[in-house]
Amino acid sequence: MLNFETNLGNGGFQSSEIRSAYLVRYTFNDYQRPLDTLRQPTSYQYNYPYFEESGVTLASTEHSYRIVVPAAQRQYDITDIELSYEKGTGCCACDQLRRRKFKRDNVVVIADAPNAEGVILRR
C-alpha cells in the first residue's frame, strides 16, 4: 500500500490533489508500453491494483507503475516489486504479507511488517 500524506505541514497533499491522482501500469520498467490506466477510487478492492481514498495498493510483481498526481505536478515511478509472505497461523490460515520491496524513483524501499501495510508518498 502506498499512502498519500495528508498533513500539509509534513509535505502532504491537499484532498483535491489526491482526487486528481491516477495510476498507469506498464509492461516493463522502460515506461514505453502502457497496459492500462486506473482512475481512483475503485469500488472493488480485490482487483489489483486498486485505489482507496488514502492511497493505492499494488499486488503484482510482473509490472511497473507510474502514480501521477497532476494537480500537484508530481509523479512516482514504482519498479522491481518483490512481495514476501509467510503462512498465517491461528484462526486465519491466510498468507500474511511480511515484506514489500520495490524501487520508488530508482530508490530501494523496504517495508517490513507491521509497516508493510503502508509506505507514505509525500510531495
User: Residue 105 CB: number of other CB atoms within 10 A?
Assistant: 10
pLDDT above 80 for 13: yes
Predicted confidence at residue 9, as pLDDT, reads 92
Q: What is the pLDDT of residues 79-119, one digit of tens each?
A: 998 888 787 777 777 777 778 888 999 999 888 766 545 67
User: Strand, coil or helix: what is 121?
Assistant: strand
**Whole-number pLDDT of residue 121:** 85
Domain with 44, as residue range(s), is 2-121
**Which pLDDT score, from 0 to 100, does residue 71 have?**
95
**Count of domains in the chain?**
1
Give Cα separations from 33 to 49, 80, 87, 106 (angstroms): 17, 16, 35, 19
The reported pTM is 0.79
- Residue by residue, what is the 3-state secondary structure of 29-85? CCCCCEEEEEECCCCCCCCCCEECCCEEECCCCCCEEEEEEHHHCEEEEEEEEEEEE
Instruction: Give the tens place of pLDDT for each residue, 14-29.
Output: 988 988 889 898 987 7
Looking at residue 44, its pLDDT comes to: 47
- Mean of pLDDT over the chain: 80
Question: Mean per-residue pLDDT for 39-65?
Answer: 64
More confident residue, 10 or 58: 10
